[in-house]
Amino acid sequence: MDIRLRAESEQRATEVGRRVPASAAQLRPKQIDELVRLYGEMKSIKGLARHLGIHHHTVRKHLVDRGVEIEQPRQMSSDELALATHLYIDGQLTAAQIAPKVGFTASTIVKALNRAGVKMRPQVARA
């Protein structure tokens, strides 16, 4: 069942030319069932919202209404932060290279290193 709710053609332009989603669509019970099933596989509200083309608040609301336990994002442990710091400083790896080694996204690695006070290297322009 495809429950993708919005296509680009359903978006409207604002006065400044930006595209904003059309007003929220109502989900049918079967669509909510599918949303709950997919959450069981993905465990990411924002990822599921992007996949379905709906707002993450809508996803969360339907999950809560159905009594689904929402998993909190895993926090980086001090050991994982120490490893990421070591790989970044001593190993000269990028956040993108470190991410799969510690099980977090590159943006999470960068945020954690910044919070830990690690001096970040300048970004290299992509080819």
Confidence tier at 74 by pLDDT (50, 70, 90): confident
Query: Rounded to whole angstroms, how far apart are CA atoms 123 and 121?
Result: 6
Measure Cα distances from 23 to 2, 20, 28, 63, 119 in Å: 20, 9, 16, 20, 44
DSSP 48: H
How many whole angstroms separate alpha carbon 86 and alpha carbon 98? 10
User: pLDDT exceeding 70 applies to what percent of the chain?
Assistant: 79
DSSP H helical ranges for 1-127: 29-42, 45-52, 56-65, 78-89, 95-102, 106-115
Task: Say yes or no to pLDDT of 20 above 50.
Answer: yes
What's the rounded mean pLDDT across residues 47-76? Answer: 90
The whole-number pLDDT of residue 23 equals 56
Q: Average pLDDT of 94-114?
A: 93
Q: Is the pLDDT of residue 7 over 70?
A: no
- What confidence score (pLDDT) does residue 108 get? 92
